[in-house]
């Protein structure tokens, strides 16, 4: 790797692992002596990654520099920031520093992965300073849609680097203190060297609405409902759980919490003191069933149409405890994450079909997002006065909007860097430059399988799903390699069974003499496979106008 030639102390940042969203899941910060990693999250697969469970960042760069990696620093407890912590610690076992809520969620992951004993996770609080290697690191409180969200200020030999984490500026959050821009301005009293800031809503004008709007609307909707109320939300939205619990007290309903993550997060929220819920408010599903409908509120998961979630099971009428009935009021206290529109819509239609009334965020504000809009981002830029700027957490279009905004707020054009994953940006007080590009692919996780995106599995699955597969098998003589018997062709997902029998028999007849002829020539396997593929593929293509994927097996007899 090259480095710039002057002798000034430098700092490098390398975003990793965000699929379309740059630096979303992991950010590497590096000086000559030390590396710290900010966040280790997962992404959920996109539509063109069939059968993949989760996607994690490629961490080979950390392996190669393991002797300098000092710590994993966590900003907040969302899956896209902590979901890959076990994978990370298997590669580089260093201490993890995390705010309280994130720490509790990470411990649960490590327990499931049977890694708790060999891992060190330290709780950090806003305002604390930790010396890690030669770096001085301070976490500062941020408002976001999970409690104990933080940003991180890192004092490096080259200057102060600010990473906002995910954030918005809310002057009256339901849980926690309002955003303290004063602290941030104090840390950046000489101007930050580098600001890396959340870009998710950088295309949106104005200020983001406050959670207070939900505090007004949700209880009103609950109060107006005559029969049973079912609310679905994000499990990590602890403030939403508090709002719902308060509304239950006010409107004399018992609260029944369903869904593994919702139950788990409610428990953690209470343990950490974020939730203030009277002990007798919460009832089990069995108790809820024995109460009159107008005395019950059910809080569950499934706002994103996840197939195994509470609300989606209810919509399919296969939830163990709850059967949707006429006059149920269902409130979707969430917005739909882009990409989930189809399953969310499907579940709403199913719920309406079962007799429920469904209220979404489109009708009445039942949710506010947790990301800063343009005015808040300007405010942040003004408070930190960075020399260099790197937008993070957002698709390319959002990063571009954020760059434009930073430049209009005073960052010099040559000091604003729209990085892509793997770019190594080196900065010193004088100048900044992308000095290298490292391998920064994505690792696909499926069951126990882990492979990188250059692997053929996902490509093959894409092909399979469109045209199905045809298997061609034949026997050849172990001695002279000649064809024994007839080749056998079967298909799956290609043509309708009734039509396929005759078609495939004809394909066998077409292939047989060609195969026989080439087997006698003792050609290479790859060439032979190609001939089978062309012969069978052309035959089927002519007859069906579709080309299935063709796999060939030879049995030596």
Give yes or no for residue 466 binding its own copies (CB under 8 A).
yes
- Burial degree of 36 (CB within 10 A; 0-12, 13-18, 19+): buried
Token couple for 382:
């003004």
Let me know: does 22 contact 403? Beta carbons within 8 Å: no
- Which of 478, 517, 534, 538 binds its own copies (CB under 8 A)? It is 478
Among 367, 371, 402, 442, which one carries the catalytic annotation?
371
Q: Which of 39, 198, 211, 428 is catalytic?
A: 198
Cβ neighbours around 409 below 10 Å, total:
17
CB of 517 to its own copies, least distance (A): 18
* β-strands 229-232, 159-163 pairing: unpaired
Q: Which stretch binds its own copies (CB under 8 A): 62-70, 85-93, 245-253, 539-547?
A: 539-547
**In the complex, minimum distance from the CB of residue 372 to its own copies, in angstroms, rounded to a whole number:** 18
Stretch that binds its own copies, among 157-165, 173-181, 427-435, 489-497 (CB under 8 A): 489-497
Q: Where are the alpha helices (DSSP H) in 255-317?
A: 260-271, 285-290, 310-315
Q: Does 530 bind its own copies (CB under 8 A)?
A: no
For residue 69 the two structure tokens come to: 């990696």
> By CB under 8 A, what part of segment 351-370 binds its own copies?
352-353, 358, 363
- Which of these, 6, 7, 16, lies nearest to 425 by C-alpha position? 16
Would you say 182 or 447 has its CB closer to its own copies?
447
546 binds its own copies (CB under 8 A): yes
Among 27-35, 163-171, 377-385, 484-492, the segment contacting its own copies (CB under 8 A) = 484-492
Residue 242 vs 500, nearer CB to its own copies: 500
Going by C-beta distance under 8 Å and a sequence separation of 6 or more, which residues neighbour residue 82?
Answer: 39, 40, 41, 74, 98, 102, 105, 106, 109
| Binding to its own copies, residues 56-95 (CB under 8 A) | none
371 in active site: yes
Among 9, 50, 133, 429, binds its own copies (CB under 8 A): 50
Residue 15 binding its own copies, by CB under 8 A: no
* Residue 51 in contact with its own copies, rule: CB under 8 A: yes
- The reply on whether position 209 binds its own copies by CB under 8 A is no
Residue 258 backbone phi and psi in degrees, to 5? -125, 155
Which residue, chain included where needed, has tokens 């992404």? 43
Query: CB 48 → its own copies: shortest distance, Å?
Result: 9
Question: Is 198 among the catalytic positions?
Answer: yes
Q: Is the distance from CB of 380 to CB of 197 less than 8 angstroms?
A: yes
Burial of 245 (0-12, 13-18, 19+ CB in 10 A): buried
DSSP 360: -
Residue 492 binds to its own copies (criterion: CB under 8 A): yes
Residue 556 binding its own copies, by CB under 8 A: yes
* Angle at 71 (CA atoms; ends 66, 72), nearest 5 degrees: 105
User: Which residues in the 423-462 window bind its own copies by CB under 8 A?
Assistant: 446-449, 451, 455-458, 460-462
> Within 314-343, which residues bind its own copies (CB under 8 A)?
338-339, 341-342
* Interhelix angle 238-250/260-271, nearest 10 degrees: 90
Q: How far is the CB of 108 from its own copies (least distance, A)?
A: 20
Instruction: Please identify every residue annotated as catalytic.
Output: 198, 371
């Amino acid at each position: 790797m090259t480095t710039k030639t002057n002798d000034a102390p430098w700092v490098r940042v390398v975003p990793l692992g965000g699929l379309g969203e740059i630096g979303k899941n992991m950010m590497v910060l590096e000086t000559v002596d030390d590396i710290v990693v900010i966040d280790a999250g997962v992404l959920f697969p996109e539509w063109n990654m069939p059968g993949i469970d989760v996607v994690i960042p490629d961490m080979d760069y950390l392996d190669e520099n393991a002797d300098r990696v000092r710590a994993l620093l966590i900003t907040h407890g969302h899956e896209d920031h902590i979901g890959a912590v076990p994978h990370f610690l298997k590669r580089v076992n260093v201490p993890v520093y995390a705010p309280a809520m994130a720490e509790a969620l990470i411990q649960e992951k490590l327990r499931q992965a049977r890694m708790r004993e060999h891992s060190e996770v330290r709780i950090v609080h806003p305002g604390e300073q930790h010396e890690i290697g030669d770096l001085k690191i301070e976490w500062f409180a941020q408002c976001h849609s999970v409690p104990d969200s933080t940003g991180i200020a890192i004092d490096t030999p080259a200057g102060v680097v600010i990473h906002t984490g995910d954030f918005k500026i809310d002057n009256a959050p339901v849980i926690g203190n309002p955003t303290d821009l004063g602290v941030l301005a104090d840390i950046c009293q000489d101007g930050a060297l580098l600001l890396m800031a959340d870009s998710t809503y950088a295309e949106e004008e104005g200020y983001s609405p406050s959670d207070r709007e939900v505090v007004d609307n949700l209880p009103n909707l609950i109060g107006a409902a005559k029969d049973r109320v079912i609310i679905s939300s994000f499990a990590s939205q602890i403030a939403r759980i508090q709002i719902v619990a308060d509304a239950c007290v006010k409107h004399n309903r018992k609260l029944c919490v369903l869904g593994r993550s919702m139950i788990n997060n409610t428990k953690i929220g209470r343990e950490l003191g974020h939730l203030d819920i009277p002990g007798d408010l919460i009832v089990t599903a069995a108790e809820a069933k024995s109460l009159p409908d107008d005395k019950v509120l059910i809080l569950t998961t499934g706002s994103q149409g996840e197939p195994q979630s509470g609300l989606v099971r209810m919509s399919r009428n296969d939830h163990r405890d709850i059967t949707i009935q006429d006059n149920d009021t269902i409130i979707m206290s969430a917005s739909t994450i882009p990409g989930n529109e189809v399953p969310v819509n499907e579940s709403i239609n199913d719920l309406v079909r079962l007799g429920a009334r469904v209220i979404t965020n489109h009708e009445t504000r039942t949710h506010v997002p947790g990301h800063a809009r343009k005015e808040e981002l300007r405010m942040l830029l003004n408070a930190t006065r960075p020399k260099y700027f790197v937008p993070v957490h957002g698709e390319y279009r959002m990063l571009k909007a954020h760059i434009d905004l930073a430049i209009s707020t005073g960052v010099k054009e040559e000091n604003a860097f729209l990085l892509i994953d793997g770019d190594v940006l080196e900065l010193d007080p004088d100048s900044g430059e992308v000095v290298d590009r490292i391998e920064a692919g994505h690792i696909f996780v499926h069951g126990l399988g882990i492979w990188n995106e250059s692997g053929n599995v996902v490509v093959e699955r894409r092909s399979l799903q469109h045209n199905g597969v045809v298997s061609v098998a034949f026997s050849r003589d172990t001695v002279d390699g000649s064809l024994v018997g007839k080749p056998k062709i079967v298909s799956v997902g290609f043509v309708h069974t009734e039509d396929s029998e005759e078609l495939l028999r004809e394909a066998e007849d077409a292939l047989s003499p060609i195969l026989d002829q080439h087997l006698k020539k003792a050609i290479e396997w790859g060439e032979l496979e190609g001939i089978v593929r062309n012969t069978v593929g052309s035959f089927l293509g002519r007859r069906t106008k579709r080309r299935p994927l063709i796999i060939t097996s030879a049995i030596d007899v």
